[in-house]
C-alpha cells in the first residue's frame, strides 16, 4: 500500500501537536492544586486535551487519504524529539549527546520502517 505524502504531513503535524499536548499537561498539572475542580478549570489542561483531539482528527484524516501503519506510526514517534525541543526552550532542559544519538536513532528507525 502506498502512503500519500499528505498522510505523512498529517502525522508529522500530529506529532508536533502531541508534544505540545504533553507540555501543556505538564504545565497545567503544575498549576493545579490536585483537586478535580482545579483540573477542570485549568486552561492549560484544556488546551492539552484540545491538542490530543487535534492529533486524533489528523490521524483520521491521514488514514482516509491512505497509508500504511508501518509508515505513519514511526513518524508519530518524532513526538519524543519535539518534546525534547519544547523542554529545552521551555525549561532549559539540556539535550545531551546521548539524547541526540537517540533522536538520530528515532529518525533512522522512522526511515527504515517506511522503506518498502
- Provide DSSP, 13-71: HHHHHHHHHHHHHHHHHHTS-SSHHHHHT-HHHHHHHHHHHHHHHHHHHHHHH---HHH
Alpha-carbon gap, residue 101 to 109, rounded angstroms:
12
Q: Determine contact, residues 12/6, Cβ cutoff 8 Å.
A: no
* Average of per-residue pLDDT values in the chain: 91
pTM of the model: 0.86
Alpha-carbon gap, residue 6 to 65, rounded angstroms:
7
| Mean pLDDT in residue range 41-47 | 95
Please tell me the total count of domains within the chain: 1
In this predicted structure, what is the pLDDT of residue 71?
84
Share above pLDDT 70 across residues of the chain, in percent, rounded to a whole number: 98
Q: Which residue has the higher pLDDT, 2 or 38?
A: 38
**Residue 110 above 90 pLDDT?**
no
Find the domain containing 54 and state its range.
5-114
In this predicted structure, what is the pLDDT of residue 23?
95
In this predicted structure, what is the pLDDT of residue 66?
85
- Of 5, 28, 40, which Cα lies nearest the Cα of 114? 5
In this predicted structure, what is the pLDDT of residue 6?
94
Q: Determine contact, residues 19/86, Cβ cutoff 8 Å.
A: yes
Confidence band (pLDDT; 50, 70, 90) for 1? low
- Of 87, 77, 88, which Cα lies nearest the Cα of 25? 87
Amino acid at each position: 500500500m502506498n502512503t500519500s505524502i499528505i498522510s505523512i504531513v498529517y502525522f508529522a503535524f500530529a506529532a508536533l501537536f502531541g508534544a505540545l499536548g504533553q507540555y501543556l499537561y505538564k504545565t497545567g498539572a503544575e498549576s493545579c492544586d490536585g483537586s478535580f475542580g482545579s483540573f477542570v478549570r485549568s486552561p492549560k489542561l484544556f488546551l492539552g486535551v484540545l491538542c490530543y483531539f487535534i492529533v486524533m482528527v489528523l490521524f483520521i484524516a491521514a488514514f482516509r487519504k491512505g497509508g500504511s501503519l508501518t509508515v505513519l506510526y514511526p513518524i508519530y514517534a518524532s513526538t519524543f524529539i519535539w518534546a525534547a525541543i519544547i523542554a529545552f526552550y521551555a525549561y532549559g532542559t539540556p539535550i545531551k549527546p546521548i539524547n541526540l544519538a537517540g533522536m538520530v536513532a528515532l529518525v533512522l528507525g522512522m526511515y527504515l520502517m517506511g522503506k518498502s
